[in-house]
Structures are given as C-alpha cells and as structure tokens.
Structure 1
Amino acid sequence: MSTAKPALPTTVPALEAEIAARRERLGHTIDELTHRVSPRTILQRQTEAAKARFADVATTPEGELRVERLAAVVAVVAVVGGLLAYRRLRRH
C-alpha cells in the first residue's frame, strides 16, 4: 500500500492559490473551534444533554410519562425541602 501525496503546484500563481485555499480552510477551522468552545454554545449543549437525560428518565420508550419515577422525585424534593425548612425554623 502506497500513500500517494497529491502533486504540489509548481507555478507561482498555483502556489499562491494553494496558500490562499489553505488559509481559508484554516480560518474556517478556527471559527468552528471558537464557536464550539464559546460559553453560550457549551451551555446550550449541556442544556440539551440534561433535557435528553430527563426525557429518558421521565418517559417510557413509547413516550408515556413514568408517573412512579416523577412521584418519587417529587417526594424526595418535598422531604429535603421539609427538612431544610424544619432546620431553619428550629435555629430561630
């Protein structure tokens, strides 16, 4: 197996065109990387991932709500909230 490299341009205008094309591709790559690491894009990606995880937990594969799981989550939140309220009232 030989990995043939494309022939390099041999004329000055061809070299200049190749350099310009590579500069353009590099610019697009830098723009894409800048977009991927921007805080807004990262936040959007994380939000979409959290929504997907919630949808997986809260719904069946058929798309119906898993009431027992949602009820368990609500119960845990209520208990924790009640404990925090009790502790706060107890301190004062």
Structure 2
Amino acid sequence: MSEIPNRPSDQAALDSRSLTALENDITATRDRLARSIDELTERVRPDNLVASQVARAKQGFYDATHDERGELRTERLAVAGAVVVGLIVLKVVIGRRR
C-alpha cells in the first residue's frame, strides 16, 4: 500500500520535483519550438524555394521524357520537336508578312 504524503516536508519535496519537472518540460518545449522555427525559416528562404522548384521541374521533365525503365520516350520527344519546329516556322512566316 502506497502512502500519500501528508507531512509538510514530503509535500515540499513533491512540489520541488513537480516544479523541476515543469521547468524541464518548458525548456524542452522551448528547444523544440526553436528548432521548428529554424527549420521553417530554412525552408522558406528564397534560395531554398528556388532550388526546390528547379528540382521539381527537372524531375517533371525527366518523368515526361523517360519511361519507367529510364529509356527515352522518343514519341514524346518527336512531338515536342515538331511543336518547336512549328513555332519557328510560324514566327518566320509572321516575320515576313511585316
């Protein structure tokens, strides 16, 4: 059977441990919050945002031009090439009309 402290000295010891535990919890929470703020600050730095977008664009281009085995999707590249050639021809034709 456990005893419930009822003497002033026992209560003071419990209060002291509770206060220490509370202070430790506050310190740990403050440290976690500081780390979270540092991580968020790092994520939203313009350099990091640009790097993330560039990496995403490169991956999207790779996914669009390569199949699951990593081989080029020549049919997609042929279509893209035809579109580029078509745009160049259109620009030349429009340029001559001026």
Normalising by structure 1, we get a TM-score of: 0.73
Q: Secondary structure at the match of 1:65?
A: coil
Amino acid at match of 1:37: V
Amino acid at match of 2:82: A
Higher helix share: 2
Segments ≥4 residues shifted beyond 6 Å: none
Amino acid at match of 1:10: S
Tell me, which stretches of 5 or more residues in structure 2 are unaligned? 1-16
CA displacement 1:53-89 (0-9 Å, x = unmatched):
2122211211111112111101101211221233234
Paired position in structure 1 for 2:63 = 56
Tell me, which stretches of 5 or more residues in structure 1 are unaligned? 1-8
Paired position in structure 1 for 2:76 = 69
Over the aligned positions, Cα root-mean-square deviation in angstroms equals: 1.9
Question: Which has the higher mean CA deviation after the structures are superposed, 51-60 or 82-91?
Answer: 82-91
Amino acid at match of 1:70: L
Corresponding residue pairs, total = 82
Normalising by structure 2, we get a TM-score of: 0.69
CA displacement 1:19-51 (0-9 Å, x = unmatched):
221111101111111122222222222222222
